[in-house]
Amino acid sequence: MATASASVSTVAVIPQARISKIGGGDRGVKSRISVVDGNLCRNNAITRKLCAPRTSLGVSASRRSWNGKKGSLRTHYSMKNEMLRNQALMFTDRLFPACPAGSFKQVCCYNIRRQRGSFVERLTTRYSTNRTTMDVLNNKSDRMFVKHHNVQCAAVGPDEPHAVSTTWPDATLEKQGVGVLDPEERSIGLEDFLSYELPSHPKLYRGQLENGLRYIILPNKVPPNRVEAHMEVHVGSVDEEEDEQGIAHMIEHVAFLGSKKREQLLGTGARSNAYTDFHHTVFHIHSPTSTKDSDGDLLPLVLDALNEITFNPKFLPSRVEKERRAILSELQMMNTIEYRVDCQLLRHLHSENKLGSRFPIGLEEQIKKWDVDIIRKFHERWYFPANCTLYIVGDITDISSTIYQIQAIFGQAGLQRETIASPSLPTEPNAFGAIAKFLVPKFSVGLGGSLSQEKLAIPDQAKFTKKERHAIRPPVSHNWSLPGINKVADPPRIFQHELLQHFSFNMFCKIPVKKVMTYSDLRNVLMKRIVLSALHFRINTRYKTSNPPFTSIELDHSDSDREGCAVTTLTVTAEPQNWDSAIKVAVHEVRRLKEFGVTKGELARYCEAVLKDSEHIAAMIDNVPSVDLLTFVMENDALGHKVMDQQQGHECMVAVAGTITLEEVNSISAELLEFIADFGKPSAPSPAAVVACVPKKVHIDGEGETEFKISSDEISAAIRAGLEAPIEAEPELEVPKDLITMPQLQELRLRRKPSFVPLDLESGSTKLYDKETGITQRRLSNGIPVNYKISHTENQTGVMRLIVSGGRAMESSEARGAVVVGVRTLSEGGRVGNFSREQVELFCVNHLINCSLDSTEEFICMEFRFTMRDNGMRAAFQLLHMVLERSVWLDDAFERARQVYLSYYRSIPKSLERSTVHRLVTAMLNGDERFVEPTPESLQNLTLQSVKDAVMSQFTASNMEVSVVGDFSDAEIESCILDYLGTVIATYDNVKEYNPCPIKFRPSPSDLHFQQVLLKDTDERACAYIAGPAPNRWGFTVEGHDLFESINTLSGINSLNRDWSYQRATTIRRKKRWTNIRSHPLFFGITMGLLAEIINSRLFTTVRDSLGLTYDVSFELSLFDRLKLGWYVISVTSTPAKVVKAVDACKNVLRGLHSNKVVERELDRAKRTLLMRHEADVKTNAYWLGLLAHLQAGSVPRKDISCIKDMMSLYEAATIEDIYLAYDQLKVDENHLYSCIGIAGAQTGQEISACELTHYLDLDALEDEGSFGVEHGVLPVGRGRTLTTRPTT
């Protein structure tokens, strides 16, 4: 569906650049954790299916407003040196408690050593928590006294930066120490201080069993009563022989889906999944610690399932064949143009080793021929305890009990008799096994009967086979990009393909990973962050012409434990006709930064931003989800970086921030950027690869599609031309402290007299507070309704959302695309009042504001994330006030927005999925352009005035609603509401009445119920979409029917509102479940959600697992709130030979709910899934912001506070009969169901009929086996994301 989305600010610390945006166009982003300094950060990464979760520091710029894409970097550099010293002393006292007061002062004359690669990470939007300011420019040399404590750590081997250590002592348990300082006081200088090791995470427990299995335990209570258990097997595609390409992934599938013990966990509310990459195979289970129906701890059952999956899989021929079919389908599903671009980039980046050619999905011809014996032999070769690491993070209260469970379940894994010849080592005594049985009671039944106390003892005649993993992971060698090697750079490589739409240029520098173990290492990380942040802001704000030469410019520096190296990447994307100018701009700006360095102002702003971001993250130490902590520990431990908690990381960051100087930062800058700025010079590092990905044809106005020609020499010439262009130093920019000054605010108050008015005439109350939910409702005298909730779960942060009813549905027939282009125009311009785009950017930087502006089919939304420190909430309200009252509409921003959507439209035919969806939606909605991308003709008809009118006509008081959630007080939030929302004139001066065309589904019958899209491609693959009408969330249909009238008549209920409100009160008094939810306004929202879970489960077990027709199939509902309609969509990927049969199977599942009745077990599982999701999400501000939406919106009259209060009880009360009431509202008959099949291959592009498609069918008999319900898991992220195998389920 067509939406407009634009980021409107900048991000704290480091712009949220893509880890390696390899390939053209924006793709979906997954949220991930990465840390070196203990500061957990959400890391948006684009490309990772095979390669790596990467920890990275990225910078990018694109044609967007108010920073367009990444996040905001806090700056405030007004504190005096004495204040700086006090801050530094405060944190030094915490780091070095034995230091005499005042003995630590900063040093300015530190000679930095050149690092050949250091850890860097990406940070996205984080918000600071106090006014800590470090003067990084005026440091004075002095001495300081410290204490040093030696703490035994599980060391990482000197040649093993990419795997958990092989040097841990057998049968040991180690709790990581907090300190890093010696008990003896001694005076040290700065260089001595920087050489000290960083502290270790105080709650992290490490251990190793006698059989070599390593384990890491980290207690964490978010979410409560849940635990994450991940088994990481250190084997992947680089370990395969030439005739085994893809076998590691095959074993992942067979072992995981063949486990009966894992299957038994599904009824407990557990979720599980698996994935494979270059040298890791990971099986993970997210489980409750206990359930109402269980007798005790579920963790032993979880570990027992992982034990079966990893060390005792059932290699049944039937399961092998079933997974072979699934993998072959997955292979075709993955083979998108993005996947092929990723493959090309990795082939050139790692041309000297297996990483460039050994992708985990494998080779089709080999996958087809492996038998059970071959698969089992690979498993025996690599699946042994010493080659595995178990990670457990969650609500663990008894570490000793958890260790005992690990020992009991995994202790005998890999045990072999002496009669078997093997290079075994003598068995060492178990350090804790002998006494563990006295610490915890005996295991209860439920672990397969194999865990009795009598069997825990290891027989004397048995030995463990002590196989060892590779010393270096991955086991490959690299050709490094280091200065002084005098290597002649390879000419740029070109990958050209007919499915590419944009030009992309990638320049790589590859160096060894530098472990972050000391304060000096952390200091280098900080300086790199400052450099890349400065570059991001410069590029993003400097180029704002009506036709800028680039779409985006990104500079990323990241460590990859999957690839075993650190990579710096310059990525440039552009329209093909502007490719040379885009390259010139990118290398020109890089050279300018390398030659002149950052300014004093930039250093101050971005150093301050790092510290404030770090402090905020430290304040969130008790609110980080276990899955994020586990990912953080896995990645940083594998890289050999010191693992710290957030508080330690912040204290260490503050300690090193006060020691950096402008000269040192610019030295780091020169080193980091040398491979680009000095390209072609003998002394400079040679790029590891330079790769351009380009289309075969481009659209030229007036000429149509023409051949696109480009050569390596032309690319090299463009690089040289950019480097030879004249450069000037960066000027300092003036940053506004406020967008609305205090005198201006006082004048506004006097003129407009803001106040709160009664919410309704009957009660006369101006404030409605609900004690159960903590929600407050207010209404301003200008008519704007406001909802807010005080929440302390996210310390010192807040979120705010403005929702304007209307959206694209309000576009007139003469101005199709006006709203979506108008919203993009507003965000592209980035100006408000008399403030330039640069000033607005820096205002957001200073106050750590992240703002986004979106348009959907029925709403325009503006969302803010802010910190409560330094008046961050007031700053966000100021920006909202200025957008509502003093937005500036610019011709050049309008032209950019129009070009963006023109490019979107022209790219549709080059994407199989997009072209298939586009044709389906166009057919189902009778050609209504408001639900797809606007056409070139529509875009041409738009003007700046028409798009401005289309957007601003919706900004009226009756159309708007503001919701705020955060860690504030009533006084703080109500002051901001009155000052900045109450003083808004909430009506656009040139309001124009729009009478939009009604939205209708295509009349039936129609010859467009079945359609096809054939896309010419070098490789074959297929997808299909099936859709049909549904009601909206509140029971209205496109024909205008109110479904509550019909179902309440059947139930004998006369009044919707009276009955549900009365029943709710009765239910609360009696503390019983709802007896009849059909009178509640959220009835259809609840039952449709449960129905979707049930249909998804059936689609998986039937179409994927039993029939083997697809790897990926899903059912989704689009239930609108304001519009009186909705629809469902089934998406399925397959092969051309099976896609028609897959579509028929999906239709049979969809229509088969009456012949194959829903049973109580299915409904209970759906309830558990949605309730657990709600329980986890309800602890976040963003989720509450969604719950608050439409509470006072006149366009959504049935939404009220009961819809939030009753949600959980409504889920619990839903019955199978209720599910069928919802199901009967879906139109699934042939007259209402639409389907479209897309096939890519060598065909010419001519459409074929359904009958002609049948020659693709695979007529082999497909066995029908039992079903295996599996929950969706988390896909790792990083460069090469499209290469990593998909989650097994």
**Active-site amino acid positions:** 252, 323
The residue ranges of DSSP E strands in 541-622, in sequence order, are: 552-560, 565-574
Closest CA to 524 of 638, 667, 673, 674: 667
3-state secondary structure of 560: strand
Beta strands in 29-178 (DSSP E): 33-34, 41-42, 54-62, 144-148, 172-175
Q: How far apart are CA 168 and CA 468, in angstroms?
A: 12
- Extended beta strands in 1135-1272, E state: 1234-1241
Look up residue 465 and give its two tokens.
Answer: 């086979």
The amino acid at residue 1158 is V
Please give the Cα distance from 862 to 871 (Å, whole number): 20
Instruction: Return the amino acid letter for 831.
Output: R
Residues 6 or more apart whose CB falls under 8 angstroms from that of 324 comprise: 250, 367, 368, 370
Phi-psi map region of 647: left, alpha, beta (phi>0 left; psi -120 to 50 alpha): alpha
Supply the angle between the helices 1216-1223 and 1160-1177 in degrees, to the nearest 10.
80
Angle at 179 between CA 178 and CA 185, to 5 degrees: 165
Amino acid at 1281: R
Alpha carbons 32 and 13: distance in angstroms, whole number: 16
Sign of the C-alpha dihedral computed for residues 486, 487, 491 and 495 taken in this order: negative
Amino acid at 1138: K
CB atoms < 10 A from the CB of 308, how many? 19
Q: Which of 514, 568, 509, 640 is CA-nearest to residue 119?
A: 514
| DSSP helix/strand/coil, 1181 | helix
Q: Which of 623, 619, 629, 617 is nearest to 227 (CA)?
A: 629
Q: Where are the beta strands (DSSP E) in 871-992?
A: 960-966
Dist CA 666 CA 531 (whole Å)? 8
**CA 1278, CA 1193: separation in Å to the nearest integer?**
40
Query: 32 and 98 in contact (C-beta within 8 Å)?
Result: no
Q: Which of 476, 442, 387, 1189 is nearest to 854 (CA)?
A: 1189
DSSP string for residues in 840-901: HHHHHHHHT-EEEEEE-SSEEEEEEEEESGGGHHHHHHHHHHHHHHHB---HHHHHHHHHHH
Enter the tokens of residue 765.
């109350």
- Whether residue 474 is preceded by a cis peptide bond, meaning omega within 30 degrees of 0, is yes
Give every CB contact of residue 548 below 8 A, 6+ residues apart in sequence.
Answer: 63, 896
Supply 164's token pair: 């958990």
- SS3 string, 68-87, reads ECCCCCCCCCCCCHHHHHHH
Per DSSP, helices labelled H in 678-740 are: 712-724
Return the ∠ at Cα 1210 (arms to 1207 and 1213), rounded to 5°.
155
Residue 724 has a CB neighbour count (10 Å cut-off) of 12
